[in-house]
Structure 1
């Protein structure tokens, strides 16, 4: 099996993730500002846990080669993506202190703890499969929005987000991750109990991605109710 088998096994959930209303509103530039700010702050918290998951991959590794494999991803997360995220958030008036002080939303807690718990309870493959929907999905969304003629470029305050995830750097990193995952699961029959377990892990993590988008939209609804 390969990563495409994992996607096909949760086809509708994958569509709900990659074609979510949050994504559509990003592309049109119509996303509510508060929804985006909520997303940015929660994504900062998510990235910290995502880095912990890559560190866990080193701990779970059995060989030196396996220990080396997560290092580029971990380094990129801490030194590049997180730093870029903080620089980008500063343009939206958010400081590192603001984001560190932000309370984790329920979707952020559920998603990050699921990934970490899956890695702790399972093996290295389980962990990588739980991590996979994030990078694979964002790469697909970035390319999808870049090519979509309905995507608004001029005057879209969120177009830089689309540029980031459609960039060669991000696309190449995601491709490397997909290739590594494909090698890890290549000998696992899709219809075996092990294969079905990996599909379930991937689907659950994808459901968490859907919830992560939705919590940004829900934050605006909650704010309107309390106003």
Structure 2
């Protein structure tokens, strides 16, 4: 099996995630600023736990090759992505201290602890299946929105978000991660108990992504 099999196994949830009203309103510039600010603050908190999950991936690695595959992603999160997020949020009047002091919303707690719990209880494959909806979904959303005729870029306060996740650099990074995930999945049969367990992990993490978008809208 591969990551496309995981997506096909939860088409309804995947649609709700990648076509969520939060994303649609962001792409056409109609998203309420309060919803976006809430999302930015919660996403900062999410990224901290996301980095913890990648650190767990190093621990869960079965050999040195897997450790070497995981470590660059952890470095990228700590050295680049979180710093970029902080820098970007400053443009919206949010400092790192502001975001550190923010309380985690229910959806943030549910999602991040689910990923970490899955990784702690399972193996490296289960961990990366739980992590996958975030990166793969954002890549799909970014590419679709950047190339959609319905997307408004001119005068859109959220234009840089669309362009960042639709960028070639981000797409290439996600493709590399998906390739690693496919290697972990390669010897697993989709219809086996193991395969179905992985589909359920992916489905649950995708549901958590839907909830993450929704909590942003609910904050407006």
TM-score range, shorter chain: over 0.9
Cα deviation 1:166-220 (Å, max 9, x = unaligned): 1111111100011111111011110000000000000000000000000001112
2:71 alignment counterpart: 71
Cα deviation 1:120-160 (Å, max 9, x = unaligned): 00000000000000000000000000110010011000010
CA drift of 1:85 comes to: 0.3
1:123 alignment counterpart: 123
1:193 alignment counterpart: 193
1:209 alignment counterpart: 209
- The number of residues matched between the two structures is 220
CA drift of 1:87 comes to: 0.4
Q: What is the alpha-carbon distance in structure 2 between the residues aligned to residue 204 and residue 16 of structure 1?
A: 13
Asked if 1:14 is matched to 2:14, the reply is yes
Paired residue secondary structure (1:157): coil
Give the TM-score, by structure 1 length.
0.96
Q: What is the alpha-carbon distance in structure 1 between the residues aligned to residue 198 and residue 189 of structure 2?
A: 11
2:45 alignment counterpart: 45
Cα deviation 1:61-112 (Å, max 9, x = unaligned): 1211121111111011111110110000000000000000000000000000
CA drift of 1:162 comes to: 0.3
Runs of 4+ in structure 1 off by over 6 angstroms are: none
Matches within 5 A, 1:53-202: 53-202=53-202
Q: What is the alpha-carbon distance in structure 2 between the residues aligned to residue 54 and residue 69 of structure 1?
A: 11
Give the gaps of 5 or more residues in structure 1. Answer: 221-227
Q: What is the alpha-carbon distance in structure 2 between the residues aligned to residue 215 and residue 41 of structure 1?
A: 12
Instruction: Give the superposed CA RMSD.
Output: 0.5
Q: What is the alpha-carbon distance in structure 2 between the residues aligned to residue 153 and residue 23 of structure 1?
A: 14
